Amino acid sequence: MRVDVISIFPEYFAPLEVSLIGKARERGILEVHLHQLRDWTHDVHRTVDDTPYGGGPGMVMKPGPWGEAVDGVLAADPASAPRVIVPTPSGTPFTQKLAMEYAAEPWLLFTPARYEGIDSRVMAEYGARLRVDEVSIGDYVLAGGEVAVLVMVEAIGRLLPGVLGNACSAVDDSFAPGSMENLLEGPVYTKPPEWRGHEVPEVLLSGHHGRIARWRRDEALRRTAKNRPELLTALDPARLDKHDRRLLEELGFPVSGENMAH
């Protein structure tokens, strides 16, 4: 996968040289190209922002440098086109599902902004000929989009084939489509079996795969009920067996759907 990022702080992306993502780059699974937005300015101050039309506080990023920068990136491969991801708190939520969708794309272009964001005409211009998604990583406001890009590239990058040591790790993750859709992963443990008087749940030492899978699912349901109860209302009734339904009822979330897993 090719990833391009245009930013006034390309140095913010040093963490992409480390750990899983760094290794994916070394192995050629992920190619990251960082671009300094100011390289597409033409004044001595390398200005990228101006006052907002309509008044109000803060500054808005000028369309000119963004347009030239995006054109410059597109020129790298005129035969193809990237999916453009514009981080903004007013975008659609970034989810595991979206991370999986992006992981299947060959080319992504991120446009992290600063100040009050990018002049909307930039999104209109490219939205007319490319897929442009305005995406939020959460209901809070960051000072700039660089951190949001780091979050998204890490979530997407670990899904690329060959990046995770064990491809199955992503299948059991919280939110993973399938049996974990709308569920949080339960607690995890490693050796030793007892630490400071805390014991690992006996079932995990039993070697009984069926009981372990059942325990993990129960814990996922319990944790979701405790930390993210709103997710339970989005569970697919067809994926819930009798045991799930009984537990959900005990937890105070009775299921009314007709279809049931066996």
Which residue among 10, 52, 89, 237 is the active-site one?
Answer: 89
* CA pair distance 42, 70, nearest whole angstrom: 16
Question: At residue 48, what is the residue type?
Answer: V
Residue 88 makes contact with ligand SAM by CB under 6 A: yes
Contact flag: residue 136 with ligand SAM (CB under 6 A): yes
Residue 140 sits in the site that holds ligand SAM (CB under 6 A): yes
Closest CB 70 distance from ligand SAM, rounded Å: 15
Q: Is 237 a catalytic residue?
A: no
Residue 154 a catalytic site member: no
The amino acid at 38? R
Contact at 8 Å (CB) between 83 and 107?
yes
Active site residue 219: no
In angstroms, what is the minimal distance from the CB of 24 to ligand SAM? 23
- Determine contact, residues 96/173, Cβ cutoff 8 Å: yes
Active-site residue among 125, 173, 181, 218? 173
Q: For ligand SAM, give the closer residue by CB, 40 or 110.
A: 110
Contact set for ligand SAM, span 96-125 (CB under 6 A): 112-114, 116-117
141 is in an annotated binding site: yes
Residue spans of alpha helices (H) in 36-95? 63-74
Report if residue 65 touches ligand SAM, rule: CB under 6 A: no
Q: What is the DSSP string of 212-261?
A: HHHHHHHHHHHHHHHH-HHHHTT--GGG--HHHHHHHHHTT-----S---
> Which residues, other chains included, contact 60 with Cβ-Cβ below 8 Å and sequence gap of 6+?
49, 50, 51, 52, 53, 115, 116, 117, 118, 119
Which of the stretches 19-27, 95-103, 131-139, 252-260 binds ligand SAM when contact is defined by CB under 6 A? Answer: 131-139
Residue 249 appears among annotated catalytic residues? no
Check whether 203 is labelled as a binding-site residue: no
Q: Does 138 bind ligand SAM (CB under 6 A)?
A: yes
User: What is the Cα–Cα distance from 257 to 239, expressed in whole angstroms?
Assistant: 10
Total binding residues for ligand SAM by CB under 6 A? 19
Rounded-to-integer distance, Cα 105 and Cα 9, Å: 25
Residues annotated as catalytic (active site), given as ranges: 89, 116, 158, 173
Binding residues for S-adenosyl-L-methionine: 137-142
Residues that bind ligand SAM (CB under 6 A): 87-90, 112-114, 116-117, 136-138, 140-145, 148
Binding residues: 137-142
